Amino acid sequence: MNVFDRIFKGDKTIWCIFIALCIISLLEVFSASSTIVYRQHNHWGPIFRHAVFLMIGFGSVVFLQRVPTRYLSALLLLLPLSWLLLILTMFMGTDVNGAQRWLGVGGVFTIQPSEIAKLALIGYVAFFLSKLKDNNQSMVFKWLLGGIGITCALIITENLSTACLILMVCYLMMFVGQVDLKKLALIALVGVASLALLVGTLTLVPHSTAKAYLPDRFATWQARLDRHSAADEEVSENGEYKITDENYQVSHAKIAIANGKVVGLPGSGTERDFLPQAYSDFIFAIILEEMGLLGGLFTLLLYVALMIRAGMLASKCEKLFPRYLLLGSAMLITIQALANMAVAVNLIPVTGQPLPLISRGGTSTIITCVYFGIILACSNAKEDEHEDVDESIANVEYE
């Protein structure tokens, strides 16, 4: 086995998708970070920071792909720790853009506990689904609901979109894990009723009442829903398009998409200088502007290919835990990517979800790389079993 095979041990298709996303990330974050460059007066600082996080993430992928999947059940221990971090964030978190989602560590850097909680919960759900049997379904189902419920309750007040993302992925994992359909139908009914109640409350409660009596984030959700449900365009008296503070992000995202051609080059866009969070929440709009329609379609297909390949690898897993862990990791990346893209093209209200592995980030970038490492480790599970069998056969023949 040569050096190349030792480094890239897992499934080569997953590795190709991972490397392609990293390349797109480096190109587009370097291009889209112009506003940070202007503020910091440092041309290379933002992209250097992002490259460091990608290198740390790459190292974690190389390490994790060699870890036997039975050791990945240690993610169970990470869930209580993530709960503690989420509770600390509520009281000691750093407020950024009106949301208290980050926790400072020693005044040197910040972490986002919700990203750690997502990773831990995927492992938690995969573990209990692997223990699901006909005679213990009720007990396992209670443990699943307990873990999911506590995690989402600690996240939802400051990060509604992340809580919804977790619920969706865990629900799909339970569906794949063959949890009783009656139980799943009941969860779906409660979920739809809760969503209808939330949207109704956001729509009917006056803004003044929301600010006075409801949590601060409630007013933010209300404003986002109002902006999305309002008319797409604000037209002045002379019939010209009017960009306001309320539609600023969506308007410049649309301009970026409209500027895009069929094929483009990274760095050729202009809306990166005007669009807030061009390097994060709205980076897909910048991709469409600079890389064109084909570049945006290629990026979308990378995530779709990841999910398809993950499904193929999961079908080959003989053990249940790595199968569910692999699927859960791939589903979380793919669904989050689709949500980010939907926001960029104004299909859904702004959520604040980054584009996995492409958006500029710290904790989110490293955790996404961890998901890829887990997928590669699970893809190695069957391969490792065959290697052990081949070695034992060879020993017998030699003797």
pLDDT tens column, 122-173 = 999 999 999 887 667 888 889 999 999 999 999 888 788 889 999 999 999 9
User: What's the confidence (pLDDT) of residue 176?
Assistant: 92
Query: Quick one: pLDDT band at residue 390, thresholds 50, 70, 90?
Result: very low
What is the rounded distance in angstroms from the CA atom of residue 177 to the CA atom of residue 308?
18
The answer to whether 281 and 359 have CB atoms below 8 angstroms apart is yes
At position 224, the amino acid (one-letter code) is: R
With a cut of 50, say whether residue 392 has pLDDT above it: no
The DSSP H or E segment spanning 260 is none
Better-predicted residue by pLDDT, 275 or 244: 275
Nearest-5° Cα angle at 124, 118 to 125: 90
Q: Which residues contact 53 (CB under 8 A, 6 or more apart)?
A: 361, 362, 365, 366
364-380 as b/e: b if 16+ CB within 10 A: bbbbbbbbbbbbbbbbb
Mean pLDDT of 339-344: 90
The answer to whether 326 and 374 have CB atoms below 8 angstroms apart is yes
Collapsed DSSP state (helix, strand, coil) of residue 93: coil
User: What's the confidence (pLDDT) of residue 229?
Assistant: 65
Residue 276 burial class via C-beta count within 10 angstroms: exposed 0-12, middle 13-18, buried 19 and up: middle
User: What's the confidence (pLDDT) of residue 245?
Assistant: 66
User: What's the confidence (pLDDT) of residue 99?
Assistant: 64
Mean pLDDT of 301-311: 95
| Locus of tokens 């740390």 | 56
* Mean of all residue pLDDT scores within the chain: 82
With a cut of 90, say whether residue 345 has pLDDT above it: no
Neighbours of 236 (CB within 10 A): 8
The DSSP H or E segment spanning 9 is none
253 vs 29, 94, 105, CA distance in Å? 16, 28, 34
What is the rounded distance in angstroms from the CA atom of residue 379 to the CA atom of residue 174?
21
Mean pLDDT of 314-330: 92
Mean pLDDT of 54-77: 91
Neighbours of 251 (CB within 10 A): 21
What is the domain partition of the chain in residue ranges?
3-379
Structure tokens at 64: 């994790």
Query: What is the Cβ-side half-sphere exposure of residue 107, based on CA atoms within 13 angstroms?
Result: 0
The answer to whether 25 and 310 have CB atoms below 8 angstroms apart is no
The answer to whether 378 and 317 have CB atoms below 8 angstroms apart is yes
Mean pLDDT of 94-106: 70
Residue (of 302, 300, 284) closest to 15 by Cα position = 302
| C-alpha torsion angle, residues 230, 232, 292, 274 (rounded to 10) | -80
In angstroms and rounded to an integer, the radius of gyration of the C-alpha atoms of the chain is 22
At position 171, the amino acid (one-letter code) is: Y
Collapsed DSSP state (helix, strand, coil) of residue 87: helix
Beginning with the edge strand found earlier in the chain, give each strand of the sheet holding 109-111 in spatial order. Answer: 94-96, 99-105, 109-111
Alpha helices in the chain (DSSP H): 3-7, 12-32, 34-40, 45-64, 75-92, 113-130, 137-156, 160-176, 181-204, 207-213, 216-229, 248-259, 283-316, 320-344, 363-398
Query: Quick one: pLDDT band at residue 346, thresholds 50, 70, 90?
Result: confident
